[in-house]
Structure 1
Amino acid sequence: MTKSTRGPLFLILFSALMAGAGNGISIVAFPWLVLQRNGSALEASVVAMAGTLPLLAAALIAGAAVDYLGRRRVAMISDALSAMSVAAVPVLALTFGVEIINVAVLATLAALGGFFDPAGMTARETMLPEAAGRAGWTLDHANSVYEAIFNLAYIVGPGIGGLLIATLGGVNTMWVTAAAFGLSIIAIGVLRLEGTGRPDREALSESVWAGIVEGLRFVWQSKVLRALAFISLVANGLYMPMESVLFPKYFTDRNEPAQLGWVLMAMGIGGLVGALGYAVLSKYISRRATILTAVITLGLAMTVIAFLPPLPLILLLSAVVGVVYGPIAPIYNYVMQTRAPHHLRGRVVGVMGSLAYAAGPLGLIIAGPLADTAGLHATFLALSLPMLLVGVLAAFLPALRDLDRTPPRPAEG
């Protein structure tokens, strides 16, 4: 019997914190570098879209890479490539001058970072069941803490990002981002955990493409996974422009980079509280009710924010959004981990991730031009009202009732 130890789990959590912080800084830094040049929300949305457009294909590939190459190896490679993509900003500025850091360069680097990130996230999530078992934690407990750590990263990342931009400038802020990814690599480098090395090739399809199709088929045939994918698809497409374009545009026009960091930190703090509270919350409220409450609350909060109230109210609403959305990722993780067999786990996580990201670029395409022409108020409303509709429609999805039923079979491995 394997001796109980929390070391592997803590290394995974630390890696998630560092990689998430790096991504959190990038969320603020990339749009800020664009808006600092000419204040165009359209160009900022182009860069933000470039960072999300590759996610659809990248998440699919990432899931297959995790299953075929091994979880630990993929996590380290992903973080190394992500570090290189952000470090390229100050390297290019030092080599050729800051003038070379234009929209095309930023969009390219954001796209590279967006392409590499899902592999690391998928790899860490698929290692959680084994790490939780070694630590003697339940899967709900491990997922709750993992997602709380991820939200903590978005407290640290955007907050530090906004403050560093105000003190060091946007270009030099990218050095901190690269260093965060470097620490994540070190943590995974010393990790030793069963199931994270070379996979059993006999359990895999002969080709990677056939393996991806196998993952897609598994998700499609699971009614509950299909319903969750639909909600993520629409909700992310409506929410992502608010965080990546509308808030940066609003605070850039006011020349308040630190305030942008505080708003994103408020969301992270709320998400941290919500994720940590999930283990207790799940004893009293169903998973279905938790998801419906989150989507409807997000729509209501976005509608109030559309009127651009004073900063304290924006901070409060952002924190509320974080609290109600904090339990969502642990629920998604639990469903994927308990429905998917061991050899398919990476691909199922990858498929769900790719579907969650699929609508993001479309939302950014619409939000940028709309913000420049109709203004922030109209753009916020154009995103918030459909979000409310999604919450109402989700209440009538019968598949969501399966969230609170015992899984048909436990995950293998």
Structure 2
Amino acid sequence: MIKTSTGPLYLIFFAALTAGAGNGISLVAFPWLVLQRNGSAVEASIVAMAGTLPLLVATLIAGAAVDYLGRRRVSMISDLLSALSVAAVPVIAWVFGVDAIDVAVLAGLAALGAFFDPAGMTARETMLPEAAQRAGWTLDRSNSVYEAIFNLAYIVGPGIGGLLIATLGGIDTMWVTACAFLLSIAAIAVLRLEGAGTPDREHLPQVWAGIVEGLRFVWNTPVLRTLAFVDLTATGLYMPVESVLFPKYFTDRDEPAQLGWVLMALSLGGLVGALGYAVLSKYSRRRTIMLTAVITLGVAMTVIAFLPPLPVILVVSAILGFVYGPIAPIYNYVMQTRAPAHLRGRVVGVMGSLAYAAGPLGLIVAGPLADATGLHATFLALSLPMLLLGAIAVFLPALRELDRSPEG
């Protein structure tokens, strides 16, 4: 019998915290470096899109890599490559001068970092069921805390990012990002957990066939297919808000710290919501929680579209994060309970890649629209379809599967 221990679970939590914090710093630093040059929302959209476009393919490959190479190994390799991609910003500035850090360079490095990140996230998520079992935790509880930790990372990351930009500048801030990824590597390096090592590849199909197998499994599972398309649409509508519109709004006002506060408010609400899900799941249906989140997201984005004073934006952002915090634990639970162990990485990869697919389209539209019509009109152009998505989701029958056991 395997001895109960929370050690592996806590190591995964710590790795998620540090890697997520690194990504949170980048979330502020990359668009700030672009907007500081000429204030162009179009160029900020190009860099933001460069940071999301590779995710569609990379997440598919990441899922297969996790199943083929092993969860622990992929997590460490991914974080090392991510650290190198962000450390390249100050290295290039030191070798070639600050002027060498132009939009093309930032877009290229953002793309490289984005290409490596999904593998690490997928690897950590796929280790949760075994770590939860070792700790004697339920999946709902472990997913709730994991996503709360991830939201905490996006409180620490953007907050530190905004402060560091104000003190050190955007380029030197990237050193902190690289160090965060190295801490994640250190945590996973000492992790020992069943199912996290090199898998038995004897019965695994070739990589492309394995990806197709994961796609087929998601498509043939109604609840997974429906969740994927709901998440795809919501991501496409919301991503420009955080990646372009908020940075544009606060850059025009020369308020980097305030941008960090807004992103922190989103993550703080998400932290409380994700932690609260462990309790809320005992009293409320998963479907009800998810529908509430999607509808509230549309309402909150509509309020923000009118560009109210900063305190109002902070409160609405915190509420938005709170209601949306439980969604990721629900998604994780469904993937972990519906997918067999040998397919888990590819199913997580497929779901993640579909969620990212609409992001570049939203960014392509949002940047030029913001420059041409202003932030108010662009916010409305994104928030009204989000309200429509919430209304449609109420009538999707597959979402009723969220509250049925996997065997049912």
Residue 376 (structure 1) aligns with = 375
Counterpart in 2 of 1:151?
151
5+ long unaligned stretches in structure 1: none
Stretch of structure 1 that moved more, 240-249 or 275-284: 275-284
In the TM superposition, what are the counterparts of 1:2-81 in structure 2 within 5 Å? Answer: 2-81=2-81
Residue 343 of structure 1: aligned partner: 342
Aligned-residue offset at 1:284: 1.5
CA distance in 1, matches of 2:401, 2:96: 56
**What are the Cα deviations for residues 272-304 of structure 1, in whole angstroms up to 9, with x where unaligned?**
000000011111211111111101101000001
Partner of 2:109: 109
- Find the counterpart in structure 2 of residue 321 from structure 1: 320
Aligned partner of 1:106: which letter?
Answer: L
Are the aligned partners of 1:79 and 1:181 in contact in 2 as well (CA < 8 Å)? yes
> Corresponding residue for 2:299?
300
Closer, same or farther: CA 175–22 of 1 in aligned 2, 3 Å: same
Residue correspondence of structure 1 range 12-411 to structure 2 within 5 A? 12-205=12-205, 207-408=206-407
Q: Residue 203 of structure 1 aligns to a residue in which SS? A: coil
One-letter amino acid matched to 2:370: A
The 3-state SS of whatever aligns with 1:368 is helix
Quote how far apart the aligned CAs of 1:203 are. Answer: 3.4
Distance in structure 1 (CA, Å) of the matches to 2:203 and 2:157 = 39
Q: Deviations over 1:63-94 (max 9, x none)?
A: 00000000000000000000000000000000
Deviation at 1:33, TM superposition (A): 0.1
- Alpha carbons 1:273, 1:326 under 8 Å: kept: yes
The alpha carbon displacement at 1:408 in A equals 2.2
Q: Which amino acid aligns with 1:259?
A: Q
Cα-to-partner distance string for 1:19-70 (whole Å, 9 max, x where unaligned): 0000000000000000000000000000000000000000000000000000
Identity of aligned residues (%): 82
| Secondary structure in 1 matching 2:284 | coil
Question: How far apart are the structure 1 equivalents of 2:202 and 2:235?
Answer: 36
Aligned-residue offset at 1:167:
0.4
Measured after TM superposition, the shift of residue 202 of structure 1 is 2.8
Distance 1:372 1:153 in 2: 31
1:354 maps to a residue whose letter is S
**CA–CA separation in structure 2 for the residues paired with 1:108 and 1:405:** 44
Using structure 1 for the length normalisation, give the TM-score.
0.98
**What is the letter of the counterpart of residue 235 of structure 2?**
N
TM-score norm. by structure 2 comes to 1.00
User: Which residue type is aligned with residue 41 of structure 1?
Assistant: A
Please list every run of at least 4 consecutive aligned residues from structure 1 whose deviation after the TM superposition is greater than 3 angstroms. Answer: none
User: Could you tell me how far apart the structure 1 residues matched to 2:27 and 2:49 are?
Assistant: 11
Indicate the SS of the match to 1:407: coil
- In 1, the alpha carbon distance for the partners of 2:140 and 2:322 equals 17
1:380: how far off? 0.1
Letter in 1 for 2:330: I
Kindly indicate whether the alpha-carbon contact (under 8 Å) linking 1:52 and 1:357 is maintained by their aligned counterparts in 2.
yes
Contact 1:203 1:343 in 2 (8 A): no
Confirm or deny: 8 A CA contact 1:72 1:197 kept in the other structure. Answer: yes
Q: Distance in 2 between matches of 1:126 and 1:200?
A: 16
